Amino acid sequence: MLSKFVLPGNKVEIRPIVQADEEEQDLNQQKQVYQSQVYDIQSDERLEIYMPMVKNRLISLPVNTEYDLFFMTGGGIFECTAVVLDVYKIEKAFVLLLETTSTLRKNQRREFFRLECALEMYSRPLEKDEIRAVLRHDNYLKANLPLDPGIIVDISGGGLRFVGESAYAVDDLIYCKYTLIKEEKPKDYTMVAKILMSRELENKPGSYEHRAQYINIDNSEREEIIRFIFKEESKRRKREKGL
């Protein structure tokens, strides 16, 4: 199955498998999610991926540890579980050898792949009539209302994490606005999001970190966000390799 759907060069997200007793832990304490790339497909059960890198530091995943893998391919996102068999160097590349422990299956969700970033954004809470419109799946939003500044620190096709001075509460619906590059030109994105997590930053009183999920997002805009993420991730990996 691997060789049929997954190719060298495909992006892959590596997620530690969360045990039952870990499910209730706070989001900011959850295990690291790693971004990497397929190096080679050895067989339908074995593959090599580049050792992931975090802040210019290579991360060697423990041998005999199992992970969830999510592959970004031309045919969509595929997922499976796999165990790390070995860690070694091929020419100048450090790679992980993994063996699948489940069948490869297509995943319909598109929000797994996150890009760490620092993007300006603006937001505000929705007013009551806007909330009623959202619940009706209406696109009605008021223009020219005051917006609070913030910084997106990671973004995906399903939502974003941002920091700012706005004290939102869990389940609040907010209007958010930010700019991404599409086809070498800036494009503004304005959408509704639901607050999933909110906490005051310990080292910066009066500032808050929020996780939010898009609500009623247009599929074409979601695809544009995903393409932006993978284009930026590709640029980042080339810079890290000095290309």
Domain identity same for 67 and 152: no
What is the spatial distance between Cα 13 and Cα 198, in angstroms, rounded to a whole number?
Answer: 25
Both 78 and 136 in a single domain?
Answer: no
Q: What is the pLDDT along the chain (243 residues), one digit of tens a residue?
A: 788 889 998 888 898 875 544 433 433 334 567 888 999 999 989 999 999 987 778 888 999 999 999 888 877 788 899 999 999 999 888 999 999 999 988 876 544 577 889 999 999 999 999 999 988 888 788 888 999 999 999 998 889 999 999 999 999 999 999 999 988 899 999 999 999 899 999 888 899 999 999 988 887 888 889 888 888 877 877 776 665
Domain presence at residue 243:
no
Residues 121 and 52 in one domain: no
Tell me if 239 is assigned to some domain: no
Residue 75 to residue 128: CA distance in whole angstroms = 41
70 and 134 in a single domain? The answer is no
- Of 72, 89, 107, the domain-final residue: 107
Strands (E), 74-157: 76-90, 93-100, 105-107, 115-125, 148-155
Q: Do 82 and 120 have their domain in common?
A: no
Closest to 126 in 3D by CA, of 138, 137, 142, 144: 142
What percent of the chain is helix, strand and coil (3-state, nearest 5)? 15, 50, 35
Per-residue tokens: 9: 């060069």
Contact present, 48 and 97 (Cβ < 8 Å): yes
Task: Give the Cα separation of 18 and 173 in Å (integer).
Answer: 29
Q: The domain that contains 208 carries what CATH number?
A: 2.40.10.220
Q: How many domains does the chain have?
A: 2
- Report how far Cα 189 is from the mean position of its chain's Cα atoms: 17
Question: Which amino acid is it at 160?
Answer: L
If asked whether residues 48 and 131 sit together in one domain, one would say no
Host domain of residue 199: 115-232
Whole-structure pTM value: 0.59
91 and 131 housed in the same domain: no
123 and 227, same domain (yes or no): yes
Phi, psi of 224 (to 5 degrees): -65, -40
Please name the residues in contact with 174: beta carbons below 8 A apart, sequence gap of 6 or more: 123, 124, 125, 126, 168, 192, 193, 194, 195, 212
Q: Of 84, 107, 130, which marks where a domain is finished?
A: 107
Please classify residue 165 by burial: count the beta carbons closer than 10 Å to its beta carbon, then call 0-12 exposed, 13-18 middle and 19+ buried.
exposed
> What whole-number distance in Å separates Cα of residue 104 and Cα of residue 69?
10
Domain identity same for 222 and 190: yes
Q: Is 179 in the same domain as 96?
A: no
Please identify, among 107, 142, 165, the residue that sits at the C-terminal boundary of a domain.
107
> Is the residue at 241 inside a domain?
no
Same domain, yes or no: 222 and 169: yes
Is the same domain home to 48 and 157?
Answer: no
